[in-house]
């Protein structure tokens, strides 16, 4: 071999060595990058877990140990690597992807909890209505109109809306005062005033008094008033795990802002004892004929009308009826049940009777006595039906309890973990509560830590149908349910049993 050839071979070997060296350096850098990225995301994952504060310490410790173990595997594959440590790098990148997704979804869940909790306020929507064929299309077009107003019910909201209108127009408006919202509507249709100002929560009540009212008017102004609620609830994160508490569950059929005042079609209180792990669900017919403390001045009204004056008025009404204290509420749009039940894959609901739902329920179907598997649309129809079931509204209340119980059971099942994100996203749009995020996460953390078995019992207030004058409806007589005192006393006794730590008879396992 010539000298020239030997020199060329040496140059080639040096070139290959430099190439291998550069590749090794690049592999080392990429391996180090994978380890650093995995470290950062592992710390971020633990940080969001600690921020959401749902998992007990033992679970957090276990997760931390697993993450450290996985980090050691990645480190070892790069230190004692074979064939450039490709398997270790792939392993690390897969973990990085999983940690990234996990961190994102946990942070998202924390945001959703924040949206649902800490409500403690309600929104009153004040509107101005004119006749449907009136030329005015905005409040400016009604500047010279005579406005019908009333200060007897919700006077503060009325004054706030008047002030806003006058500031917007830059002038005072002409007003005629009436005794009730019904009198305002009558005056509008009789031509005594050209416009009326009232709380939009009364719209359905006006539709009852004047069939076709919604089609006979148009809204030319709206003013939303946010009202803070002072319910005296504790905000400590363990307050729901130490002593009994009661939650008012209000189901409404309004679209838009869930926090707006509205009639409540579903009225359930859940009496919870976190030490004996018992839940008592008490449903009260929407037409129950009761006093609204601090509102109706001794007169009686339908329970559903209490919602017009705010969720706190409904809570006070039920608290007085059942001689208990209610500091917490959950407001939900019952139509959201369709999506939630469908996300859960349907629910198994027990029916006391065999019947066929009517068209008014929104979905016609046959219901058998016993267990029925419902999708979202069917569950909503079942919970709405009161025409084709014995005892009408009383049975409907029991059926609503059955649907809620079925949903709770499904949510407590292991498969729920795979669907938790989808359910929470849906819930965030249609549920509002004054339970704080700290309280809610504390309750979940306690359940995960103890894995306690809960029992649940459902009862319903009973009564007889009649017609009578209601505080919110003026002189018009409406269908009401006159309370059965024996039924109320029996419920009060069971509420006391739960609150005092006794054991309910006929309670069934919830999980």
Which two three-digit tokens encode residue 81?
Answer: 């690597």
Are 193 and 111 in contact, with CB atoms under 8 Å apart? Answer: no
Question: What tokens were used for 151?
Answer: 């200060």
Two structure tokens written together for 98: 């999983």
DSSP 343-411: HTT-EEEEESS-EE--GGGTS--EE-SEEEEE-HHHHHHHHH--SSSTTHHHHHHHHHHHHHHHHHHHH
Q: What is the pLDDT of residue 331?
A: 87
For residues 114 and 427, is the Cβ–Cβ distance under 8 A? Answer: no
Q: Rounded to an integer, what is the distance from CA 269 to the centroid of its chain?
A: 15
CA-only gyration radius of the chain, Å: 31
Give the model confidence (pLDDT) of 262-285 as tens digits: 888 889 999 999 999 999 999 999
Sheet holding 146-149, edge to edge: 174-177, 146-149, 195-199, 121-131, 217-228
Minimum mean pLDDT range among 7-21, 345-359, 398-412? 7-21
* Domain coordinates in residue numbering, the chain: 3-116, 121-228, 239-509
Residue 56, pLDDT above cutoff 80: yes
Q: Most confidently modeled of 120-124, 204-208, 216-220, 256-260?
A: 216-220
Phi and psi, residue 46, nearest 5°: -65, -35
Residue 23 is predicted with a pLDDT of: 53
Alpha-carbon distance of 455 to 505, in angstroms, equals: 10
| Rounded CA separation 340/327 (Å) | 26
Q: So what's the pLDDT on residue 253? A: 63
| Candidate from 1-5, 87-91, 104-108, 124-128 with smallest mean pLDDT | 1-5
Structure tokens at 181: 């919202």
For the segment 368-422, what is each residue's pLDDT rounded down to a tens digit?
999 999 998 999 899 888 889 988 878 888 888 889 888 888 876 666 655 666 6
* pLDDT in the model for residue 501: 93
Band (9; pLDDT cuts 50, 70, 90)? low
What pLDDT is attached to residue 254? 59
Distance (Å, rounded) from C-alpha 429 to C-alpha 258?
Answer: 8
Cα angle for residues 63, 67, 68 (degrees, 5° grid):
115
pLDDT reading at 24 higher than 70: no
**Among 2-6, 38-42, 261-265, which range has the highest average pLDDT?**
38-42
Does 39 score more than 70 pLDDT? yes
Q: Does residue 1 register a pLDDT over 90?
A: no
**Cβ pair 270, 281 in contact under 8 A:** yes
Q: How far apart are CA 436 and CA 331, in angstroms?
A: 14
* Residues 496-510: b if buried by 16+ CB within 10 A, e if exposed: ebbbeeeebeebeeb
**Mean of pLDDT values over 202-224:** 91
Going along 158-288, which residue ranges are E strands? 174-177, 195-199, 217-228, 245-252, 266-273, 278-283
CA angle 123, 127, 129 (to 5 degrees): 160
CB 396 within 8 A of CB 383: yes
Q: What is the pLDDT of residue 272?
A: 95
Provide the pLDDT for residue 426.
Answer: 66
Helix orientation angle between 3-52 and 86-116, rounded to the nearest 10 degrees = 20
pTM over 0.85: no
How high is the pLDDT of residue 207?
87
Mean pLDDT (the chain, rounded): 86
pLDDT at 231 over 80: no
Residue 124 has pLDDT above 80, yes or no: yes
At residue 22, the pLDDT reads 54
Q: How confident is the model at residue 111 (pLDDT cuts 50, 70, 90)?
A: confident
pLDDT at site 496: 97
pLDDT higher at 216 or 211:
216
pLDDT of residue 289: 97
CB atoms within 10 A of CB 222: 12
- Best-predicted range by mean pLDDT among 170-179, 238-247, 353-362, 475-484? 170-179
> Which of 151-160, 303-312, 424-433, 482-491 shows the lowest mean pLDDT across its residues?
424-433
Span 100-117, average pLDDT: 80
Residue with structure tokens 């450039």? 84
More confidently predicted of 207 and 120: 207
Which DSSP string do the residues of 89-138 spell out, in sequence order? HHHHHHHHHHHHHHHHHHHHHHHHHHHHS---EEEEEEEEEEETT-S--S
Span 45-63, average pLDDT:
89
* Nearest Cα residue to 67 out of 96, 87, 110: 96
Tokens coding 54: 């749902």
Which listed CATH number (3.40.50.2300, 3.40.640.10, 3.40.50.10490, 3.40.630.190) goes with 239-509? 3.40.630.190
Angle between helices 86-116 and 57-79 (to 10 degrees): 160
Indicate the fold that domain 121-228 takes in CATH.
D-Maltodextrin-Binding Protein; domain 2 (3.40.190)
Highest mean pLDDT, choosing among 9-13, 302-306, 506-510: 302-306
């Amino acid at each position: 071999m010539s000298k020239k050839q030997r020199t060329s071979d040496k140059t080639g070997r040096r070139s290959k060595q430099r190439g291998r060296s550069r590749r090794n350096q690049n592999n080392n850098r990429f391996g180090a990058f994978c380890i650093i990225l995995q470290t950062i995301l592992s710390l971020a994952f633990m940080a969001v877990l600690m921020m959401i504060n749902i998992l007990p310490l033992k679970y957090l410790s276990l997760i931390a140990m697993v993450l450290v173990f996985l980090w050691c595997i990645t480190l070892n594959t790069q230190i004692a690597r074979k064939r450039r440590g490709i398997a270790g790098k792939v392993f690390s990148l897969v973990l990085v992807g999983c940690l990234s997704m996990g961190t994102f979804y946990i942070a998202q869940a924390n945001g959703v909890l924040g949206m649902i909790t800490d409500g403690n306020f309600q929104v009153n929507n004040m509107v101005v209505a004119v006749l449907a064929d009136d030329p005015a299309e905005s409040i400016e077009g009604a500047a010279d109109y005579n406005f019908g107003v009333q200060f007897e019910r919700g006077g503060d909201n009325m004054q706030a809306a008047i002030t806003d209108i006058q500031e917007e127009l830059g002038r005072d408006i002409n007003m005629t005062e009436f005794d009730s919202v019904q009198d305002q509507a009558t005056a509008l249709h009789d031509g005594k005033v050209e416009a009326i100002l009232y709380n939009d929560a009364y719209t359905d009540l006006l539709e009852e008094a004047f069939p076709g009212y919604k089609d006979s008017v148009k809204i030319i102004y709206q003013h939303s008033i946010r009202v803070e609620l002072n319910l005296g609830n504790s905000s400590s994160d363990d307050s729901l795990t130490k002593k009994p508490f009661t939650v008012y569950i209000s189901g409404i059929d309004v679209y838009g802002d869930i926090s707006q005042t509205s009639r409540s079609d579903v009225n359930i209180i859940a009496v919870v004892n976190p030490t004996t792990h018992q839940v008592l669900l008490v449903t009260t017919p929407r037409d129950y004929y009761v006093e609204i403390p601090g509102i109706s001045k001794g007169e009686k009204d339908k329970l559903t009308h209490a919602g017009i004056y705010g969720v706190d008025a409904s809570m006070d009404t039920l608290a007085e009826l059942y001689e208990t204290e209610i500091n917490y509420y959950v407001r939900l749009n019952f139509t959201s049940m369709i999506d939630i039940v469908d996300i859960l894959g349907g629910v198994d609901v027990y029916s006391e009777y065999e019947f066929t739902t009517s068209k008014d329920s929104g979905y016609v179907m046959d219901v058998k006595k016993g267990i029925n598997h419902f999708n979202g649309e069917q569950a909503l129809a079942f919970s709405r039906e009161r025409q084709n079931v014995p005892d009408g509204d009383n049975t409907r209340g029991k059926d609503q309890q059955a649907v809620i119980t079925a949903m709770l059971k499904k949510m407590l099942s292991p498969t729920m973990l795979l669907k938790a994100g989808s359910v929470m996203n849906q819930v965030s749009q249609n549920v509002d509560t004054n339970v704080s995020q700290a309280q809610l996460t504390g309750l979940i953390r306690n359940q995960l830590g103890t894995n306690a078995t809960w029992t649940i019992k459902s009862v319903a207030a009973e009564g007889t149908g009649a017609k009578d004058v209601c505080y919110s409806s003026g002189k018009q007589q409406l269908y009401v349910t006159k309370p059965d005192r024996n039924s109320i006393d029996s419920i009060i006794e069971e509420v006391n049993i739960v609150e005092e730590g006794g054991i309910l008879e006929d309670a069934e396992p919830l999980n």
